[in-house]
Structure 1
């Protein structure tokens, strides 16, 4: 009684060997060439577009209207595209949200750097309720912070999807007398 022919076993071993070799090749490529790398978010510039500020000494109040033009770029160092979902850029004054602008969903191709030009208008009512604004105004410097967080997925070989979150936080000061932006310091963070 024959259990199986030698020819059938050889075919089975060859097919199994080819499947194992392809699986190993996919794993090696996923861990080396296609390994997910951190997208790098950079705040390239912050410009003061519109700045109107007046001091009401009788009421100890500051009236303010500020618009900032912020250029942000996101570099995708991966060998595959990075798809990101809708996001929001925030403007903060002393850790209080005072302005925001939406970033529509999109895709950044392999090794591409995509630029975003954001116009942030300050929500004056939120800013004016802060008791430190008056002293910052009289000192001549207004400390602000921009925060941009982009969340998305990197797809490797079409079926391995890795969730990526990249964020940038930049602290800077607006010089009230000459309406310029100075002392910019940014921190970058990426989670895979």
Structure 2
């Protein structure tokens, strides 16, 4: 049995909700939690504040919706990369490439994950997502150690966290909104250099001889 298609009113309602969440995410990425309010979202969207409350809610609901949006977009990119075939180091490279693509396609959501809001309740699901993704990265490192591709003297949990921090730092240079932002060509060179250093540093060179 076919599901009923949404009506024009329902589609417009959902489109407005997405617009509100996108604007809330942009405010968070630009100015942090303190700058976010239903009134500021309404001003930027050129709508009545009551529309924001009706479609999403107040500040707490806006924070939660922005966080959920960032999490869903991140999972969409990263889960596909972790499922790809290949050796552990090759899959780590693919994970880094997927994170880069996420940052390029969804820079606001990326910045929310790289620098979560200071509201702890809102940040909790984002922190949980980071832990979830780092656990997958840790497992890849363990697989690499087991098969002899990754050096055995690393600590997988610590290294997974370090890789997450390094990727965040380098990727942020390409999507931030200030004078520290690198131009595209320079950013790609920095990213390629960082990827080389990471993969070369992880490789068990003794096993390769």
* Coarse TM-score class (shorter-chain normalised): under 0.3
Q: Which has the higher helix share?
A: 2
Q: Which has the higher strand share?
A: 1
Over alpha carbons, which structure has the higher Rg? 1
TM superposition score normalised by structure 2? 0.20
TM superposition score normalised by structure 1? 0.21
